[in-house]
Amino acid sequence: MDHVNLIAGQPSFVSYAMFVDRHGQLADQEVCENKIREQSTGFRKEDALIPESDSGLSEKQREDLRKDLVFKMFLGKEEYKEEVAIPFHKAFWGHKTKINNLELKTAPIDGNTLDSRKIDPDVVWQDPDNGNIFLTEMQRNAQPFYAQRISLYGGKTFATLAVKGSAWNFDLVSAFVLGLANFDLNREGPMDYIHEYASINVNCKEDFLTGQDWKMLTDLKKARAFQPEIFSERDKWIFLLNNFHHFDELENMPAFMLDGSFDKVLDIANKIKREKMDELMDFISELHQGIGREQQRRKE
């Protein structure tokens, strides 16, 4: 690619910032997104699991779709905000900020400039009192660029929700981005399964650049082998996430999971899996069959 002159004026139809392609190289035009994202304004990650052919859903596709939707319904449902969402976010972020109330936000988050492309995290909540945004992204299968995606979500949140002032000043919201990885993140330390990140002064670890960009990666796979002497609330949530889809296979629920009000959380998790998912999967199957019949009709 030719060198780009950053000083020269740019065409009027291009925003001020230069674009960067997927290889981290400067480009003079916006990089096209995946076709499936271009063709659907309401793209969701689970949409990619539904095949367009009339062959139906495979067992693996059905199971993957079920797990994605169950997780979103569990953590991203207003009905269970007091029992699930608020305690969950307090467990992971309560050491950084106070969380007394949350409001469910609509995902995906659309940027309002040419170079602010859409992001589609699994669950998004916002604190109505201070504007703090909490994004949670679960990834079940290994993904080499997962850390980059988590970082991108934080940056896109800043770019999308910042309020521009009159003199190039911006009022930023605080973004708390949580990545839940169900695979080995290959980070150092055999028992170090939680990694926190923020923009800081490399020469003074207590000097934060903005104090508003917080990211956390949780290695769920490594956490399975961790046996703390005292289980924190965060440990309970991690245990729940690791065993969410096979509670029935556990011979006995550990005693630490039944302390306090966590038994209510377990009841809600089982309720969603038992009552909601059969109905939802029946609906998806009927929808897919309808799409298949329509495609067959067009072929004829």
| Sequential pLDDT tens for the chain (300 residues) | 333 333 333 333 333 333 334 444 444 443 333 333 334 444 455 454 444 444 566 777 777 777 777 888 889 989 999 999 999 999 999 999 999 999 998 656 665 555 555 677 889 999 999 889 999 999 888 888 889 988 888 888 887 777 777 777 878 889 999 999 988 888 776 568 899 999 888 898 889 888 899 999 999 988 888 877 778 889 889 988 888 877 766 667 777 777 767 888 888 888 887 765 666 666 666 666 665 666 666 666
**What are the domain boundaries of the chain?**
1-31, 58-274
Look at residues 285, 282, 277 and name the one whose alpha carbon lies nearest to residue 58.
285
Instruction: Supply the pLDDT for residue 120.
Output: 78
Instruction: Supply the pLDDT for residue 32.
Output: 37
Instruction: Supply the pLDDT for residue 187.
Output: 78
What span, in angstroms and rounded, lies between the C-alpha atoms of 93 and 290?
44
Q: What is the value of pTM for the model shown?
A: 0.72
Counted residue by residue, the chain has a size of 300
Instruction: Supply the pLDDT for residue 169.
Output: 80
Q: Which residues pair with 20 in a beta bridge?
A: 26
In our burial notation (b when 16+ CB lie closer than 10 A, e otherwise), range 159-191 reads bbbeeeeeeeeeebbbbbbbbbbbeebeeeeee
CB-CB neighbours of 291 under 10 Å: 15
Tokens of 222: 């490594």
